[in-house]
Structure formats: C-alpha cells, structure tokens
Structure 1
Amino acid sequence: MARFILAKLVKGVLVVLCVVVVNFFLIRLAPGDPASIMAGESGSSDPNYVAQLRTQFGLDRPLPVQMATYVLGVVRFDWGFSYRMKLPVLQLILDRLPATLLLMGSAFVFSVLLGIFLGVIASRTRYTGRRRWLDSLIVGGALLLYATPLFWLSLLMIVLFSVELGWLPAFGMETVGAGLTGWSRVLDITTHLVLPTVSLGSFYMAMYVRLTRASMLEVMGMDFVRTARAKGVAAPAVIRRHVLRNALLPVVTFSGIQLGQLAGGAVLTETVFGWPGIGRLMFDALMQRDYQLLLGVFLLTSAMVVVFNMLTDVIYRVVDPRIAFEGGR
C-alpha cells in the first residue's frame, strides 16, 4: 500500500506539472491583451503606457521564458500576482476555496446518498416485481434530471423557491450585513446552500440512480445471491451484505470522476447563484484576462482531480479487499 500511494503521488505531481505547462500556453493563445485592458480601464490608450504595463508584468518576454518563470514559481508555491485584484493569486484562491469545498462537498453527499438510496429502491421493486410503478417513476425522474441543463434548472429553482414561494434565498453565501454569529450564522449559510447544492448535485444524482440500479440488478442475478436466498437469509440482509457491497464498485469509480467534474460544474452554479467560490473567481478572471489568476485556479482544480482519483483508488481497497494494489499499478 505504501509503494502504491508513493507511486500515485509521483505520477500525480507529473500530471499536474504537465497540466500547468499546457494551460499556460493555451491561455496565452487566447485572444485579448491584459495590458491593453488595464490601459483601457485607466482611460489611457498611449502605446508607451501599454508597453510599460507589458514590461511591468513580464508580458514582453518570450513565451518559453514566461513559462519557465511561472513553473519555478509554482514549485516554490509562488503562484503569481493578480494585477486586477492587487493581491497574490494564492491568497485569493485560499480565501475562496472554503466556499467552493463546502458547495462541492454538499452536492457530492446529496447526489451520492440520494442517488444510491433511490437506485436501491428502484432495483428492489424491479427485482421483486412489486410496485413496479415506483421503479418507472424513479427511472423517469432520473432521466428528466439528467436531460435538464444545469443553468436552466438553477433558474427554475430560483423562480420557484425564491421568487414565487419565498422559502429560500437565491443569491450569496449568507445574508449581507446581518452580523449573525454562532448557530444563527450556520443556519443562515445552510439556507443559502440548499438551492446551489440541489442544482449542482441533481445531474450526478440522476446518474447514480441509474448506475446503482443497473449494478444492483446485475448482482442480484448472480449465483451467490441465489445461494444466500436459498439458505434462508432474509432479503434485507442479502441486499445489504451481498448485493449492495458488490454493486458499489462502479459507483465508487464514478464518484471519483464526479468529484473532479464538480469543480467545473461549480463555475456555472456559483455564477448563477452568486456563490463566492473559486468558480466565480475563475469566471471573473476570464472576463478580465487575469492570466495569473486563471492559471492558479486551473492548477488548483487539476491538483484536486488528482487527489480525488488517488482517494478513489484507496477506497476501492476498503470496499473490496480482493483488489490488490501491486507495485503502484
């Protein structure tokens, strides 16, 4: 296990460094000049002033030199300086990271728990033949959520639960100017978290429903399940001890992929709901051509994807001890 984790760490570092280099050149190829944008915002179009800004931020150097300087800075945990925010990139990201992790964690737990629960119910009703309408209802609802665009679902939820019913707040992470503390502040943040969590997690929850249902039905038809039933083991025990544990392996695989995709989905969700996370920060940096901040956000999300995939491989060992990690493969 130690060799496996060490090998994964080495591979992960190499992957992140490759992503850093690729992202650097892709962003530099994007249209728009940060120096021209800064000069325009200050009300000056003087070419000498634009050239001065390019020299100040190192934009006049050759691309390989800029890339090497940035990679060396990343290794030293110096992710650059945001010319727009007038703050170090790492500080800006760390300030926004807790909000994004809170949203991602809530959406992940919501999608996994509800998706597996509904998938188990659908598979049991399908397998036993009782109340098969419930199976059709769950599968149809999951298909509807899967086919609904994320931004449209978010807007519909805002209109229904915030505008029409007035149950939940639509924007922000907490009530501005309320000055709440303690449990009152926790409750306020929770109410603001509900709509973004459901919006971001619904798509993945629908996939968990279908994946769990299909995996459960496949395992239910295997010989060891029929043997357990023939020995008189109660149906709930068969589902819990034999079927569900074996059916969870594909779910664990997909959950590791989902954690990486949640960071990308959070960009749209945070923008729609005004959630102050790194997704909203990345959107603002893109609009302002803040290259250093964009690179920092991309670096963080790439590292998160690598870490999540490593955790998925380790959880495989917990779910099914028969899987052996040999030599870091």
Structure 2
Amino acid sequence: MRVVKLFSFLISRLGKAVLVVLGVVVINFLLIHLAPGDPAAVMAGEAGATDPKYIEELRQQFGLDKPVLHQLWIYMEGILRLDFGYSYRNGLPVLDLILDRLPATLLLMVCAFVFSLITGVTLGVLAAKSRFSNRRKWIDNVIMVGALIIYAAPLFWLALLAIVLFSVMLDWLPAFGMESIGANLTGMARVWDIATHLVLPTVTLGCFFMAVYARLTRASMLEVIGMDFVNTARAKGVPSSQIIRRHVLRNALLPVVTFAGIQLGQMAGGAVLTETVFSWPGIGRLMFDALMQRDYQLLLGVFLMTSVIVVLFNLLTDLFYQIIDPRIELGA
C-alpha cells in the first residue's frame, strides 16, 4: 500500500513539474523577446557591418523576423524533441554547451548545499543545546551574532574578501578557475586540484544559507523543547543529549528541510554571481556571457535547465520528508 501511494505521488508531482517547467519556458521566452536589444544588430555591429540589408538577412536566418508567438511555437516543438536550439555565437548546439558546463555547476551547488546544511544545522544545534542546558549561553550568543553578520554580508563582498584573504594574502587556495591551467594532472592529483579550487566558491556560496539554517534550526529546536513530550522526558531523567538527538532534533528538522528545498532555487541564482567572480566554468557563467552577447537561444536553454534542476530538487525534498518522519502522509 505504501509503495502504491509513493508511486501515485511521484506520478502526480512529475505531471505538475512538467506543467511548471513549460510555464517557465513560456514566460522566459516572452520576457526575453520583450527585452530591448536586437541580437542581429549586435552581431552585425561586432562584425563591423551596419548595412540594414545584412541585418535583415541575419534576422531571417535566426527566425527573428517571424511573429513572437510563431517563434514560441517553433521553440516549444524543439523542446519536446530535446532540441534547445543552436548558439550561433558559439557555433555549437545549445544542449551541448549546457551539458558541457552542467557538471561544474552541479558540483558547486551540491557542495555548497551540503556545506551550508551540515554546518548550519550543527551550529543551530549547538546554540539551542547551550540555551537548553542553561550553561554556556555565550555560545548561543556568539553563533547567533555571527550568523546575523554573515546573513547581512553581500555575496560578492564575501567572495572578494575570501579571494583577498585566502588567495592573495595567505596564498592558501587558488582564486579562479576549476583546475590549474596547463597542469595536465590525472588521477587523485587532478581530484585534489579541483577540490582546492572548489573550496572558496563553495564556502562563499554556502555561507549565506548556512546562517539561515543555523537560525532556523535553533528557533525550531527551542520551539520543540517547550513541548510536553520533551518536558516529560526530562522529568523521567532522560539525558539531555538523548533528548536533543532522539526527540528534539528529528522534529525540528522538518521546517529546515522545507526551507532547504526552497533555498535550492536561490542557490542556483547565487551560483551565477559566484561563478562569475571565481571564473568557475558552470552554466551560471555561461548564462552571464549569453546575456552580454544577446544569445537568446543559449539564455533560454540555461533558464530551462535551471528550472528543471530546481523542480527536481524540490521533488527530492518532498521524498526526503519520509526519511525524517514517516508519519507524514504522501499527498497528491
């Protein structure tokens, strides 16, 4: 029975996910084509040609001379065939460009997510535990003040500060790129090289969300601590560490997981700035370049891939609820 409910839930959510992605595709397509600027004029200007006839030929070549709704229909047909279009600025299919950059972005997002969630929850537990035990309350104050400072700091400022401190002054970590250029490393040497390049972008992108998870975990745990079943456990003489681990933390994690699923979408947006500052070769940097070059097809492809990633992560979040608390019923 449980398997049937799970299967029905997955089918329902996947159907809704498809509708959401299609809606995002339509809205992004219309918004981009309503934005000022003509890609044909930009490319003609970069080629040194200002002849109106040449610009018109470019518009016909790229299909920009057709009505917007006709262009949308053609694009939607291509999406259903997994054809994201062709990037004339890069001379490659859009899907090939995205798939080439996608692993770097997923690596950065997953590492930043894991870092922010584990670190944030750990700090939140320490803060709540110090408040719960009525000892060492200064730990709670230090963690909350530090989380507030990190939360208020702009992402680009944290990135630049990390580069100046850990790369320029201390020379501990590389500042730019995904791996050392021209090193031609293989095996574990290449893995270590990528790992060292990954540290600064991961910490920078994850710090903001780490502060959010720390404050949310602390607030959730303090709310659960005041409930009757926790007071009963304390009255029975159950050790504080066991109460925190078995009773408080498990119930307090539910709002954290909910918020984490929502924050993944913001993390995908924050990856754009992080990848630009650190020259990380992901789809965020690809999207920035496509925006500057008026490469509409590539820009739409990146938006589509980002929306698919966010929807899938949200689906995984719903499934993760069952691991934390199997009592939650799967809804349609």
TM range (shorter): over 0.9
- 1:187 is aligned to 2:184: no
Note the alpha carbon deviations across 1:156-211, whole angstroms, 9 max, x for none. Answer: 11011111111111000000000110010011001000000000000000000000
- 1:80 is aligned to 2:85: yes
Q: Which residue of 1 aligns with 2:37?
A: 32
Q: Which residue of 1 aligns with 2:3?
A: none
- What letter corresponds to residue 66 of structure 1 in structure 2? Q
Whole-angstrom distance in 2 between the partners of 1:241 and 1:279: 40
CA RMSD, Structure 1 to Structure 2 (Å): 0.7
Alpha-carbon offset, residue 117 of structure 1: 0.4
Query: Equivalent pairs: percent with the same residue?
Result: 69
- 1:90 is aligned to 2:90: no
- 1:236 is aligned to 2:228: no
Normalised TM-score (structure 1):
0.98
What does residue range 65-76 of structure 1 map to in structure 2 within 5 Å?
A: 65-76=70-81
Alpha-carbon offset, residue 41 of structure 1: 1.2
Alpha-carbon offset, residue 224 of structure 1: 0.6
Whole-angstrom distance in 2 between the partners of 1:317 and 1:106: 23
- 1:139 is aligned to 2:136: no
Alpha-carbon offset, residue 232 of structure 1: 2.5
- 1:226 is aligned to 2:231: yes
Alpha-carbon offset, residue 68 of structure 1: 0.2
Whole-angstrom distance in 2 between the partners of 1:303 and 1:89: 16
Note the alpha carbon deviations across 1:89-129, whole angstroms, 9 max, x for none. Answer: 00000000000000001100100000000000000111212
Alpha-carbon offset, residue 43 of structure 1: 1.1
SS at match of 2:238: coil
Match 2:256 to one of 251, 254, 261: 251
Q: Which residue of 2 aligns with 1:125?
A: 130
- What letter corresponds to residue 29 of structure 1 in structure 2? L
Q: Which residue of 2 aligns with 1:290?
A: 295
Alpha-carbon offset, residue 323 of structure 1: 0.9
Count matched residues.
Answer: 327
- What letter corresponds to residue 153 of structure 1 in structure 2? L
Q: Which residue of 2 aligns with 1:213?
A: 218
- What letter corresponds to residue 106 of structure 2 in structure 1? L
Note the alpha carbon deviations across 1:15-68, whole angstroms, 9 max, x for none. Answer: 100110110000001111110111111111111111111011100011010000
Alpha-carbon offset, residue 231 of structure 1: 2.0
**Gaps spanning 5+ residues in structure 1: where?**
none
- What letter corresponds to residue 163 of structure 1 in structure 2? V
- 1:61 is aligned to 2:63: no
